[in-house]
Structure 1
Amino acid sequence: MSRRPAWWSWLAALQGLLLAGLLAGVLASAPARAQPVELRDDRGATLRLAAPPQRIVSLLPSFTESLCALGACGRLVGVDRYSDWPASVRSLPQLGGLEDANIERTVALRPDVVVAARSARVTERLEALGMTVLVLDSDTHADVQRSLLLLARLLGTPERGVALWQQLQREIGEAAARVPPRYRGSAVYFEVESSPYAAGAASFIGQTLQQLGLGNIVPAALGPFPKLNPEFVVRAQPALVMAVQHELAGMAARPGWAGMAALRQGQVCGFERPRYEVLVRPGPRMGEAARLVVDCLVALPAGGGRP
C-alpha cells in the first residue's frame, strides 16, 4: 500500500473540522427556528405558536411591507387589496380591506397567523373560527418600532427587527441633515384626506416631520389623524402644505383657501400617488418618506419657510 504524503492527513483533518463546524451551526440554529413563539399584541392578548409561522396573512399594507423587509415575503399566502410593495406581493390572493376582509378566503388559505390592525372588523370572527390573529397599532413611531420588533420575534429573527429600526432612524437622520435652514421650525399642514383629515404632531408622519426639524399646525392634543374644520387650516396659515398631488391642485378652489400664503407662493409639496403611499404607510419605508419630503423642500422656490 502506498503511503500518503503528510499534507494529506493535515487536509483531511481540516476538512473534518470544517464539516463539524458546519453541522454544529446547523444543529444550533435549527432548534432556535423551531422554538415556540409567545407574544403579547397591542390589544394585550397573548399569542402562542408551537413554532414561527410559515403561512402568514397580512391585512394592512404597512404590515405586508414590514414582513417583507424582515425577510418573510416568502411566508405570505394572502394580503389585503392595497398591499402593492414589494412587487412580488401583487400576485398573492387579495382578501379585501379593513372594512370588508373576506373571511372565507382567509380561512381557506390556512394561515398560521393573521396580522391585522386594531381597526380591522374581522378579528373576533377570525378568532372564533380558530384563527390566530396578531393585532398591531401603527399610529406613532413607537407603534412602528414595537410592531417591527414583535413581527421579527414572530418570525423567529428578533435581531432583524432591531437592525431595521436602527436603519430607519439613520435614514431619517440623514434626511434631516439636508433640510434647508429656512424651513427649520416651519409649520406644516399634511393632508391625509380631503374632508379634511390631517396628520397631526402625534402621528408617525408628524413625528417624522419633527425629526426633520419641521413643525405642525395640528397639536398633539388633537390626536394622530384628526378631522379638521377647513377654517382651522386657513386660520393656521401653514408655511408649507403637503398632500397627494391631485388634491393639492384643487386646494385653492376650496372656500377661503385661496387666501393661504403657502398656496399663493408655491410653498407646497404635491406627491404623485405611488410616492404619497410611501409617506402614509408606517413601516420600513419611513426613511424613504423622509427623503421624499426633503427632496421637495430642496426644490421649492426661495422665500418660503417659517413666518
Structure 2
Amino acid sequence: MTRRLLAAPLLALAALAQAAPITLKDDRGATVTLPGVPQRIVSLLPSLTETVCELGDCAKLVGVDRFSNFPERAQKLPKLGGLEDTAVEALAALKPDVVLLGVSARIVDRLESLGIKVIALEPKRMTDVQRVIGTVGQVLERPDEARRLWNRIDGHIAQSAATLPAAARGLTVYYEVDSAPYAAGAASFMGEILTRLGARNIVPPELGPFPKLNPEFIVRADPQVIMVGQRSAPGLPQRPGWAGLQAVKNQRLCVWVPAESDVLVRPGPRMSEAAALMARCLRQAAAGPVPLPTAAFTAPPGGMR
C-alpha cells in the first residue's frame, strides 16, 4: 500500500512531464508548438527516419517516405511517396502528431491547412546535421541521447581520418552524386567529411553544397580519384575527355553499391560509416587501382535517395 501511495505522485509527475508543450523553431524559421512528446510520427526524409530510430523512438514512426529503408523496421511501415508525390490523404489517415520532412517538400502548406503539425529540417552541412539531430532530440525529449549521438558521429569521423596513411592525404577528388552531373561540393556534409579525411575536393565551397557542373570543369580539374554510385558508373570513361583523367587512367574509381550510396548521401546517424567508406576508397586509391564491385546493381527496398 505504501509503495502504491509513493508511486502515484511519481506517475502523475511523469504524465505531466510528457504532456508539457514543446516549442521550437524549424529550418523555415517557423515556430512550432507540440502539445507534448509526439507518439505518432511520420518521417518523409530518410535521414530523419534514421535519426528518430537511432535516438530510440523507432516504434513511434507510423509512416515514412518511399526511400526510407533503414533500419529494417522502416521497410515495414506504410510508404507515403516522395517529395513530389506524397500521398497526403494516406498520411492524414495515419493521424500523426507531427510530420518531419525537408524544407523543400511541397506539401508543408497543405499539411498545415489540415491541422497537422509540421517540422521542416534541412541538413546540408555538418553543422546542420548536428543542429537537426538536436532538434529531433528536442521533439522526442531525448536531448542527452542527441548529444551523445553527435559526439559518436564526430568521434568516429576523426578515427577514420587518423587511420589514413600519408599517401592517402591530399588526393584530389570528384564526388558525383548524379550523372547530370551534380557533385558533392566542399560546402556539403559529404565534402566536409572528405576535407576532414585530408582529401582535396575539386569543387570549391563557393559553388554551393551540390552544384550542377559543366563537364568541362571536371575535365580541367583532372581529379586523381572519382567517387560515384554504381548506377552512374557505366559509361563514365566514355564521356568526352574523361578517358584522359588521372582517376580513369589509373583506375582510381570508387564505385559505391546501392547500400553504400544510401549511407553516403544521408546526412544522419550513419555519417560515421560514410567516413569509413570514403577512407577505404582513399586508402585503396593511394595503393593502386581500386577494385570494382563484383555484384550487379540492385536498388534497395524503397528505391534510392
One fold, TM greater than 0.5?
Answer: yes
> What is the match of residue 296 of structure 2?
none
Aligned residue pairs: how many? 289
Partner of 2:287, secondary structure, is coil
> What is the match of residue 173 of structure 1?
158
Q: Distance in 2 between matches of 1:83 and 1:216?
A: 29
Q: How does 1:4-83 map to 2 (within 5 A)?
A: 29-83=14-68
Correspondence for 1:134 among 96, 119, 129: 119
Which amino acid counterpart does residue 189 of structure 1 have in structure 2?
Y
Correspondence for 2:100 among 115, 125, 130: 115
Deviation at 1:186, TM superposition (A): 1.7
CA contact (8 A) 1:266 1:301 kept: no
Which amino acid counterpart does residue 74 of structure 1 have in structure 2?
A
CA contact (8 A) 2:226 2:247 kept: yes
Which amino acid counterpart does residue 285 of structure 1 have in structure 2?
R
| 1:242-294 per-position Cα deviation (integer Å, ceiling 9, x unaligned) | 01124224210111111101111012211101111100000000001001111
Deviation at 1:152, TM superposition (A): 0.4
CA contact (8 A) 2:157 2:272 kept: yes
Q: Distance in 2 between matches of 1:26 and 1:150?
A: 27
> What is the match of residue 264 of structure 1?
249
Q: Identity across aligned pairs (percent)?
A: 48
Q: Distance in 2 between matches of 1:50 and 1:131?
A: 12
Which amino acid counterpart does residue 47 of structure 2 have in structure 1?
S
> What is the match of residue 299 of structure 2?
none
Question: Kindly tell me: are residues 29 and 208 of structure 1, through their superposed partners in 2, closer, same or farther at Cα, counting changes over 3 Å?
Answer: farther
Correspondence for 2:227 among 220, 231, 242: 242
Question: Kindly tell me: are residues 18 and 254 of structure 1, through their superposed partners in 2, closer, same or farther at Cα, counting changes over 3 Å?
Answer: farther
CA contact (8 A) 2:98 2:119 kept: yes
Q: Distance in 2 between matches of 1:75 and 1:278?
A: 23
Q: Distance in 1 between matches of 2:130 and 2:19?
A: 25
Structure 1: segments with no counterpart, 5+ residues: 1-15
> What is the match of residue 260 of structure 2?
275
- When the two chains are superposed, the root-mean-square deviation of aligned CA atoms in Å is 2.0
- The TM-score with structure 1 as length reference comes to 0.89
Deviation at 1:31, TM superposition (A): 3.6
Deviation at 1:28, TM superposition (A): 5.6
> What is the match of residue 206 of structure 1?
191
Structure 2: segments with no counterpart, 5+ residues: 290-305
CA contact (8 A) 2:176 2:182 kept: yes
Question: Kindly tell me: are residues 157 and 181 of structure 1, through their superposed partners in 2, closer, same or farther at Cα, counting changes over 3 Å?
Answer: same
4+ runs deviating over 6 angstroms = 16-25
Asked if 1:290 corresponds to 2:275, the answer is yes
